[in-house]
Structure 1
Amino acid sequence: MARRRRVLRAATVLLSLAAAAMAMEVALRFWGAPYYRFNNRSMEYYTNPRGYHSPLREEGRYTIYGLEYRATEEGYRLPDAPARARPDGQALILGLGDSFLFGRGVRYADLYATRLGDALRHEGCGTGVRNCGVVGHDLPQILDTYRKEASKKRYPLVLYGFTLNDFGLPAKVFGSDLIDINNGGNVFDRLRSASKLYDLIRRSLDKLRLHRVVIEAYHQAFRGEDAAAKFEMFRRLRREVEAREGALVVVLFPLLYDLRHYPFQDIHEKLAAFCEKEGIPLLDLLPAFSRYEAEELWANPTDHHPNETAHGIAARELHDFLVKNALVPRDCAGP
C-alpha cells in the first residue's frame, strides 16, 4: 500500500511538471524570443526582416536571402554593379579594416567608406575612399595591406576601421562570438526550433557562456604580452603612415551587444588612452551607436555586423570628425 502511494505521488508530481512544461511551451510560443534558422555560410540568411536583402535561391520550403558581392583578388570590395564602378586611382584616403569595412550584409552604395567619399565629392572634394577592408583580417594582416597599398601610392589620410577582434582572441570561440551567429563553431539546432521551452533553457546556458567565455576572451585579448605586441604593431602602423607624410585616424566600432550596458567600455577606454598617448586621432562610435538598441543595427538576426543604418551613422560621424579636426586632405582634388 505504501509503495502504491509513493508511485501515485511520483506520478502526480511528474504530471504536474509535464502540465507546467506544456503551459510554458504554449506561452513561449506567443511571447518567447524567436530562434532563427541559419546555415554556416556566413553571408546567407533565412529571414529578411527589413526587406533589404535579395532572394538568392530556394532551399526546400525556405528562401535564402543575401547579397551578391564583388571583390578583387585581394578581397577588397568592389561596387555591386560593374557599370557603376568608380575609378579609385585619384583616391587620397585609404581605408583599412576587416568585414566591418568590407561591409558584410550591406550594399556597396551604403557602406560608410562609400558614403564618406560621396559626401566629400558633394562638397567639391574630388577624392574618394579606397576600400581595402578584407573579411577576416586582423591587425597583422591590416599592417601588411597598408604596406602593399602604400608602396604603390602616397595616401595623405589613412582610416583604420578597428573592431575588438583585431587583436585576435586568445582561444577559439565556438558558437556566437557576438558578431557571427552562423560561424563554423555554431550549428543550427532543430530541437530548439521545435521546442520553445528547450530553446529558453539553451538560450539561458548560452548567456552564461557568453559572460564566462566569450566576453572574457575579448578582455584577455587586450591584456598581457600578446596585447603588448599588438599595441607595438599599432605603433608601427602609425610610424609608417607618418613616414609617408600621412595621418592615421582610427574609427573604433563597438560590438553590437547590449550597447546600453556595454561590457567592453574598459577596452574602449584603453584604446582611447593608447591613441591619445600616440597622437592618433580616434573616433569612438559607441556614443552614437548607443542611442539605438543593438538589434536595430544588426545586418540580420543571425549576423551582427553593422547594417546600413549603422554604416550611415558611421559615415556621418566620421565626416564631421574629419572636418572638425581638419583631417580632410588639403589637396583633395587629387594629383
Structure 2
Amino acid sequence: MIKIRFPFKYLLVVVFSILIFLLVGEVLIRLYLHSRIIYDIEMSRYSMAAKADSPNSKIEHVHKPNVRGKFMGVHLRTNSDGLRDDEYPVGKTGKYRIIFLGDSLTLGWGVEEKDTFEKILESKLNQIRPTEILNFGIGNFNTEQEVNLFLEKGLKYEPDQAVLFYFINDAEPTPKKSKLWFLGYSQIITFYWSRMHAVINRFVPSTSFGGYYSNLYREDQPGWTQTMESFSALKKICAERSIKLQVVLLPELHYLKEYPFKKEYQQVSALLAALGIEHLDLTPFFKNIENPMELWVAKDDAHPNAKAHRLIAEDSFDMLSKPLQGKA
C-alpha cells in the first residue's frame, strides 16, 4: 500500500497563501467600496459598529450608546441610551412624550435623521402642543423585540403615547446570533457571500418573495405566535399605565398598485381590532405611486427614502395627533 505524504510545510504554504489572498482581497475590496455603497456591506458595517448583545433573549441585540458613524451614505448617531435621537431625561418633563417603536424603517435607515418621519412628525405635532418623540427603532427588530425593549427601557421615560410601526417581516421569529458573527468584520467575505446568495436565488428554485412572507402568518408559525403575544402584552401594560397605544402598518415598497400582502395585513388588523388597539394601514395611501423605486433608499435597498418618510409622516399625522387634541 502506497502512503501519500503531505509535508507539514506544504500545508503551511497553503494556509499562508490563503491568508495573503484574503488580506490582499480585503484591502482591494475596501478600496473598491470606498466610493460605492452596497446595501449588504453597509448593513453588516452597521451591525458590527452600532449593535451590542442584550442579555434578554427576547431582545437579542440593542444599540451601543454614543455611536457615531456613516452608513448607507448618511450619518447615524446614538445617544447615551442607544437611541438615534437627542438626549432625554427619564420621567416627566412637562412636554407630551411619545415613544416610537419599530425596526430599521423607524430607525430611518439610509435617511438623515432630520428627514425621518419621527423628526417630521415631532415638528408637526409641536404646532399643536409641546411634544417630544423618542426613537426606539433598531435595525433587524421584530414585534417581540420592540415590545420587550419598550418594557425594559421605554417605561422609565413615562410616555403619554406609544406608537409601534409594523412591517410585513415583523412576524419573523426573534433571531439568534450566528456563531460566525465575527465574519461580519470582513468586507470581502460579506461582499462575495451576498453575490453568491443572489446567484443562488436567481437559478435555484426557492420560496418566492411573497410566499416567504405569507408563510410567516400561518397559525402554526412561532413568529406569528410571538407577535400575537407581544401585542397583547403591550396593550396590557399601556392600559395599566394610561399610555395611549397606536399601531401604524408600513407598506412593503416593491409592489404598491397590487399590494401582495393585503391578506396578511388584514390578519394583523383583525388582531389589533380584537385587542382594542387603534391602528392605521398606510398601504392604500401608496397605491397611486407609479414607480415604487422612487421611494427607495437605493437600487438595491427598498428601505423608504426621505420622500417616503415625508409621505409616512403626512399620512399618519391625523391619527397620531388625535390624543394631543383630546380626541382619543
Flag whether TM exceeds 0.5 (same fold): yes
2:117 alignment counterpart: 112
User: What is the CA-CA distance between 1:257 and the residue it aligns to?
Assistant: 1.4
Looking at structure 2, the residues matched to 167 and 186 of structure 1 have their Cα atoms a distance apart, in angstroms, of: 29
Match of 1:297 among 295, 299, 317: 295
Structure 2: distance between partners of 1:275 and 1:256: 23
From 315, 318, 325, give the equivalent of 2:316: 318
Larger relative contact order (CA 8 Å, sep ≥ 6): 1
From 243, 246, 259, give the equivalent of 2:240.
Answer: 243
Q: Distance in 2 between matches of 1:156 and 1:185?
A: 44
Query: Aligned AA for 1:215?
Result: G
Matching residue of 2:18: none
Q: Structure 1 unaligned segments of length 5 or more: list them.
A: 1-35, 45-55, 58-63, 80-84, 173-181, 191-198, 331-335
CA distance in 2, matches of 1:151, 1:169: 24
Distance change >3 Å, CA 329–CA 184, structure 1 → 2? farther
Deviation at 1:277, TM superposition (A): 1.6
What residue is the counterpart of 1:221 in the other structure? Answer: 216
Q: Are 1:126 and 2:130 counterparts?
A: yes
Q: CA contact under 8 A between 1:99 and 1:133: conserved in structure 2?
A: yes
Within 2, Cα distance between the matches of 1:136 and 1:149? Answer: 18
Q: CA deviation digits over 1:20-75, x for unaligned, max 9? A: xxxxxxxxxxxxxxxx966522389xxxxxxxxxxx99xxxxxx960121113554
Does 1:70 pair with 2:77?
yes
Q: Report if the CA contact (8 A) 2:103-2:140 is conserved.
A: yes
| Inter-partner Cα distance in structure 1 for 2:168 and 2:122 | 25
Bigger radius of gyration: 1
Instruction: Give the secondary structure class of the aligned counterpart of 1:224.
Output: coil
Identity between Structure 1 and Structure 2 (%): 24
- Is the 8 Å Cα contact of residues 140 and 233 (structure 1) preserved in structure 2? yes
Q: What is the rounded CA distance, in whole Å, between the counterparts of 1:169 and 1:188 in structure 2? A: 22
Among residues 258, 261, 265, which one is paired with 1:261 in the alignment? 258
Matches within 5 A, 1:137-156: 137-156=141-160
CA distance in 2, matches of 1:245, 1:65: 38
Cα-to-partner distance string for 1:84-112 (whole Å, 9 max, x where unaligned): x7889545111111111100011111111
8 Å CA contact 1:104, 1:305 repeated in 2: yes
Q: State how 1:156-195 maps to structure 2 within 5 Å.
A: 156-168=160-172, 187=193, 189=195
Structure 2 counterpart of 1:97, from 85, 102, 118:
102
1:298 counterpart letter in structure 2 = W
What pairs up with 1:16-55 in 2 under 5 angstroms?
Answer: 40-42=41-43
**2:316 partner amino acid:** L
Q: Give the match's secondary structure for 1:129.
A: strand
Cα deviation code 1:190-214 (max 9, x no counterpart): 9xxxxxxxx9x989658x74xx343
SS in 2 for 1:254: coil
Aligned residue type for 2:313: A
The alignment status of 1:282 with 2:283, answered yes or no, reads no
Unaligned runs of 5+ in 2: 1-36, 46-68, 177-186
Structure 2 residue matching 1:261: 3-state secondary structure: coil
Separation (CA, whole Å) in 1 of partners of 2:201 and 2:215: 24
Q: Is the 8 A contact 1:138 1:167 kept in 2?
A: yes
User: Which stretch has the larger CA shift, 100-109 or 276-285?
Assistant: 276-285
Match of 1:252 in 2: 249
Relative to structure 1, the CA distance from residue 113 to residue 204 in structure 2 (aligned partners, 3 Å threshold; closer, same or farther) is same
Assess, with a 3 A threshold, how the Cα gap between structure 1 residues 256 and 75 changes in structure 2: closer, same or farther: farther
Distance 1:284 1:43 in 2: 30
Please give the per-residue CA displacement for 1:239-269, whole angstroms capped at 9, x wherever unaligned.
Answer: 1111110111001012111111221110011
- Give 3-state SS (helix, strand or coil) of 1:106's partner: coil
Equivalent residue of 2:114, what SS?
helix
Q: How much has 1:322 moved relative to structure 2?
A: 2.8
Task: Please tell me the residue identity of whatever aligns with 1:115.
Answer: I
Q: Alpha-carbon deviations, 1:293-335, whole Å to 9, x = none?
A: 3211111111111111111011111112234xx32265xxxxx
Does the C-alpha gap of structure 1 residues 271 and 184 become closer, same or farther in structure 2, counting only changes over 3 Å? Answer: farther
State how many pairs are aligned: 252
Identify the residue that residue 177 of structure 1 maps to in structure 2.
none
Aligned Cα RMSD in Å?
3.6
2:328 matched to 1:327?
no
Hey, what's the Cα distance between the residues in 1 that align with 2:41 and 2:212?
22
Distance 1:328 1:145 in 2: 24
1:232 is aligned to 229
Per-residue displacement from partner, 1:134-171 (whole Å, max 9, x unpaired)?
11221222112211234313222101011111121699
